[in-house]
Amino acid sequence: MIEKPASAILGRLRVWWSRGGVGRAAVLSGFAVLLLAFFLTYSSRIRTSSDSSLVDLTLLSNAEENGALCLDGSPPGYHLQRGSGRGSDSWLLHLEGGGWCNTLEKCSERQRTPLGSSHYMNQESFVGILSSNPLSNPDFYNWNKVMIRYCDGASFSGDVESDHQNGTKIFFRGMHIWEAVISELLTKGLINAKQAFLTGCSAGGLATFIHCDDFRALLPEEVIVKCLSDGGFFLDEEDISGKRTIKSFYNDVIRLQNVEKHLLKDCLETEPAKCFFPEKIIKSIKTPFFILNSAYDSWQISNVLVPEDSDPENSWARCKLDIHDCDSTQIELLQGFRMALLNILGDYQHNKNIGMFINSCFVHCQTYGSPWHSPISPRINNKTVAEAVGDWYFNRRDVKEIDCAYPCNPTCDEMESI
């Protein structure tokens, strides 16, 4: 196995922090907080390069008046970089990820982090799909680009009016955040867009499924509007112990943050969490949609297929860190997980509104950083993620890229070895 340099390890730690979910908040205590802060600061410096630019944070105006507040009651924020030239009337919005919180305790812990408070948010480095470098982002580099920060813990869909829960002051206002931020962006030029693209990573990718048609409805009919979810197609699958850990977790999130009122009504009678999975939501989406996912999504393997409680002997520890360290039995289970995803997506192979890029790399989000478009980006049929997405968005070709099974794609190893 190729040893990864410090920059790659730090990068993965930062991705783990910014995109993670179940159980992560439990580590935030004492020395772990200081160590994590060091890693985040150092890795953010590494990520800032000639291909990226630091973009200031804009706090939402009239946040309190609109009831649009982060978990701690602070105003939510976003980063806006204006477009230029031919891209001046095109808008790309990216919903930040960061998992979910399913208990008051875990949501309260988020209040002391950027995932629950704008007090801890700083400038953001725009790379990948947000980059202004045409070499790194050939189709969207000169668009108006927005990163909407994630500070509600329920994929921008919580909706609890009270600010006190069992004696804890906390705000579950994700739906209000979504509505208020989009409303403000409309006044800043989004309403005059000729084309718009709503994207999101991880929990933000799930939010893109939830809000795609709502976004379409807010813009004039003549505007070209499409959506993309990156690493957001979470599967409703059993873990290795036979439990449906992720579904149970989602049910807790839905109950805690009153998400149910904004979910599809036709499946709420059985189990609310079913309506929180993309395989249900996508059936009703009318707006053109692109699904970007790894068939071996590293976050899902660690939290959906093999959550901590399902592996008391810790026999999956090495495999969950690096797919190259999985034994033959583990690989067989991973292949089954891949097939579960492909079986669901098979229903959309002939749907012209749906685009896909499903590779076999051991990654989570791929729109941010080098996986998007670089010499070491993963490829399918010699196309990078960025090239495939651009081809689909601009109708250059029908894009249904489904990779062969692990370990067949050598470009995955190139990307993972940095």
CATH of the domain at 103: 3.40.50
Q: What is the rounded CA–CA span in Å between residue 378 and residue 410?
A: 8
Residue 7: the pLDDT is: 34
Q: Look at 27-31, 234-238, 313-317, 346-350 and tell me which has the smallest mean pLDDT.
A: 27-31
Q: What is the rounded CA–CA span in Å between residue 80 and residue 145?
A: 6
132 vs 260: which has the higher pLDDT? 132
> Is the distance from CB of 101 to CB of 25 less than 8 angstroms?
yes
Q: Look at 33-42, 170-179, 289-298, 299-308 and tell me which has the smallest mean pLDDT.
A: 33-42
How many domains does the chain divide into?
A: 1
Residue 40: the pLDDT is: 36
Q: Decide if pLDDT at 168 tops 90.
A: no
Catalytic residue among 94, 176, 262, 364: 364
Catalytic residue among 202, 229, 294, 370: 202
415 CB burial (10 A radius; 0-12, 13-18, 19+): buried
Residue 91: the pLDDT is: 98
- Mean per-residue pLDDT over the chain, rounded: 88
Give Cα 121 distance to the centre of its chain.
18
| pLDDT, tens digit (0-9, with 9 covering 90-100), for 286-310 | 999 999 999 999 999 999 999 999 9
Q: Decide if pLDDT at 202 tops 80.
A: yes
Residue 261: the pLDDT is: 82
Domain that holds residue 182: 6-416
Q: Decide if pLDDT at 5 tops 90.
A: no
Catalytic residue among 152, 297, 311, 403: 297
Instruction: Report the relative pairing of strands 224-230 and 289-294 from DSSP bridges.
Output: parallel
Taking residues 16-25, what's their average pLDDT? 41
Among residues 170, 195, 67, which one has the least CA distance to residue 111?
A: 170
Q: Decide if pLDDT at 36 tops 60.
A: no
Taking residues 313-341, what's their average pLDDT? 97
Per cent of the chain over pLDDT 70 is: 85
| pLDDT, tens digit (0-9, with 9 covering 90-100), for 46-101 | 343 456 689 999 999 999 999 999 999 999 999 999 999 999 999 999 999 999 99
The pLDDT-based confidence of 167 (bands split at 50, 70, 90) is confident
350 is an active site residue: no
Per cent of the chain over pLDDT 90 is: 79
Among residues 129, 128, 95, 97, which one has the least CA distance to residue 19?
A: 97
Q: Decide if pLDDT at 10 tops 90.
A: no
Residue 232 is classified by DSSP as -
pTM of the model: 0.88
Q: What is the rounded CA–CA span in Å between residue 248 and residue 370?
A: 34
7 is an active site residue: no
In a domain, 278, yes or no: yes
In a domain, 341, yes or no: yes
364 is an active site residue: yes
In a domain, 1, yes or no: no
